[in-house]
Structure 1
C-alpha cells in the first residue's frame, strides 16, 4: 500500500492495467468517486456505497451480490473476485440496471478501484506518473488521445527508452502507437518548423588503402526507405539536422526502432537515444495540416473551434479572441459570406485581436483559405486612373509607402501575379484588401481610400505536388534514374518512376524532387513544339513559370507560350513542349494536386 496526496491508501494493482481497454481520455474529475451496489435490479434493495479502493469487498466471506449499479462520480474498475483478480469491468458515471448492462453474467463484486484522475498535459513532461494522484496506475497507459500538435512518447521517464511518434488522434491501446508494451513514462512536444526538412548523416570513419580515414556524408531531403540504395552504409557516426524534424528507423522500409530527430547536432547514437548506430531508413515529419483554430478567450483559452476549409457563416455563439493558423494563410471577415472588413493571417499564433490586426470590438463571422498561386509576385501602382501616369512596380513588400520615398496617392493599380495584401496605413495597419491578379482602374472608387499605406505579397511555403494533364489524365514526370540525371526528358505517361512525378515551386522555377538543382526549361530555339526538359537552373536566361491550381501553365520568360503535350503518333508523342496559347487544344489544361 502507498499513501496518496490526501493521506488515504490505495492498493498496488498496476498489474491489471495492461489488460484494460478503457475509453479515450476523459476530462479531469476532482470530485470524490462514489459507487452504489444494489442487491436487486433497477436499484432496488439496500445499497452498499464505496468511495475508495476495496481490495476485498466480501461480506461474511462472500462477494457482494450486485444486480444493479449506480456510479455517481469517477471511473471505476469492478472485479468479480477479491484482490483485483479476473478481468475487470470499466464503468463510467451512470446507471447499470442489471448485470447485462455492465457486461457480466454473474452479479458478484469482490473488489473495486476508482480511477480518480486521468493525466492531461499540454507541455513536455519529464515524468508522467508525477502528474497523477495514482502513481501506481500511470506507469502503464491503457489509452491516450492527442488533442493537438506532434509529440514523442518515451518508454521511460526522463525521455529515455523506446520512442513513439504521437500525432493528433486517438490511440485505444499501446499497439496502436507501436509500443513494445503499455509502459509510457514521459512525453515531449515537437516544436520544430516542419517545412523544407534537411539533414546530413555522417558514416562511421573508414581507412582507405593508404591508411587515411575517409569521412562519407549523405544529405537527406526526402523520405529514404533504404539508405544502402544510395551507397550509404547503415552504420552512422553522427547526424546534423539542418531543418525540419525527422524519424530515423533502425531497419529498412520505416520499420524497427524509431528515433525522432529535431534541429541540432547528434554527436553519437547515445544523443539520439540508443546504443546501436544502425539507421537504415528515414522519414520527414509531415507539414502541419492547413487549419485555423479560433478561441473564445485571449491566449488560446476558452472554447476552441477548428476549421480546415472555408466557412461562410460562423456559429452564433463563437466569439473570437485569439487564434492559431497552420499550414497556409487564412483570411478572416467581419461579416458573413466573406464580406466586410477582412484581415489576412499568415501561419502563426495570435494571442489576441490586436496581434491579428483587428480592432478590439471585432467579430469574426466567416473565414477562408488564401488561394494558392504558384507565381512570382508582382504589382504595379499608377498615379492616374486607367493604369496611366507614373508607375511603381515591385515584387516585394513595402512597409511604408511614404518612408520609402513613394507618393502614396494611388489612383489605379494592376496585380500582375501572386496574391497581394493592400493596407490602409503603414506597418500593415488599418483596412486590408486581398487581391489576386486584377486591374483596378479607379482605386479610390474601388476601396473608398485615397492612399495606400503599405502592402505585401502573400508568401507561400513550399508545397509538393503532382501536375496532371487534364486531357490525358496522366501526370508530368521525368524519365531517367536519379544517378544519371544530368538532364531529363519531361513526359506525360501512365508509367512513372518513384518520386519522378513529384514537383515543387521555388522563386518562379518548377523543380523536381529527384533533382532539386534543376528546373523546367526550354532548350534550343523558342518556337512552337520546342521541347521542355529538366535542366540545370544556372542556365541563362532564368526561365520562370506561373501555375494556377487549374488551367494554363504559362511561361513568364516567353510571353504567350504555355506548357503542352506534343501528341501525334511519333515516338516522342508524350513529350512536354511549349506552344502558343490556344483554346482549341485541351492538352494545354493542367491540374495541380497537392501532396
Structure 2
C-alpha cells in the first residue's frame, strides 16, 4: 500500500532541515522556516503561501521538486498544506452566473481552456463540484492565479479564495493535467531555469507523444535593482514576484528592466506607493516618479499585451454614468467630465490610474477584474486624473 506523504526541505536539492507530512497541516512554520525543495509520494497536495490554507496555491503531483521554481513558486514560503482527496479521473462541475447558485448555469465535464469562448461568460459567482477535484484559473489558457476546488458547494467566489469572480479556464486534476498546468504557469511567469527531467510525470507524458514547451519559456522576465544612481553599487537581479527585498539591498536608486512589466512597492508584501515600470533604463528614482529610494517588494504584471479595455463608473458598485476606454488618456476630465472614479471593470489588459493629469501623482495598477470601490485598487481617494495601458515595448 502506497503511503501518501510530502517531505519539505529547507534548502535546495533536498538538503537542510526536513519535515515529512502525512496529512493536512494548517501551520508549517514550527517545522520548517522556509521551503526550497520537496518530494511528493503517493498523491496530490496543495501548498499554500500562508497559514490556515490562505494565500497563493500550488498543486503538486507525485514527483521530486529540487527547488521552488519546479512548482512555479513565487518564493520559498510555504506555510500550510493539505492532501488532495477523491481524485476520481472524472469531472462534473456546475458554474453559476450569480451567488447562491442563482442565474444562468453552465456544466463542465472536461478541461476547458476558455470559459468565455465556450459559455460567453467572464464571471462565476458560485459553483458546485459534483465530481472532481479541479482547478479554476483567473485567465484563459490556464493562466493567472489558481484556485483548488474539491467536491462540494461554493456559494460565493470568496469561498474558493478568490478576490474577484473572474474565471478564465478550468482544468481537471490528473497526473498529466497537473504537469501541463505547471508548464502553462511557467510560461506565464517567464520562468526559464526549470529542469523538467526531475519530474517523472513530465517524462511519462512526453513518452505518450508530446508536449513541447512554448518558446515563451525561453524569455525570462528580469529586473535589476542598484543601490546607487547610474547603475552603480550593490545590485540584485530578480525574475519573479518578491514580497521582501530588504535582504537583497538597503536602498534603490537606479533600475534596469530587461524584460516584462513590473510593479514596485514602497513597502514589503506589495504595500505602499506603487510604481509601474516597463522595459528600459532608469538611472535614478525620479525617472520612475519615485518619492524616495525605498523599494521593498515587486511583482510582474500579467496580461499586459494584446487588447486593452476598461469601464469607468461614476459611483460605487458599477452605478451611475459609465464610459469605456481602450487607449491612454492624459486627462480623464477632458473625456468624462468627472474627476472621481468610484468603481471600474477591467475587461482586458493591465492599466495604471494616476492621481493627476498627464500621468502624474500616485499610481495604481489595475489588472483584469472588478473593482467595486476605489479602495479595491488601494487608493485613499477616488480621484483619477489620467490612465495609461501597461505595454511592453
**Which one has more relative contact order, counting CA pairs under 8 Å at least 6 apart?**
2
Larger helix share, 1 or 2: 2
| Fold-level similarity (TM above 0.5) | no
Larger radius of gyration: 1
TM-score if structure 2 supplies the norm length? Answer: 0.41
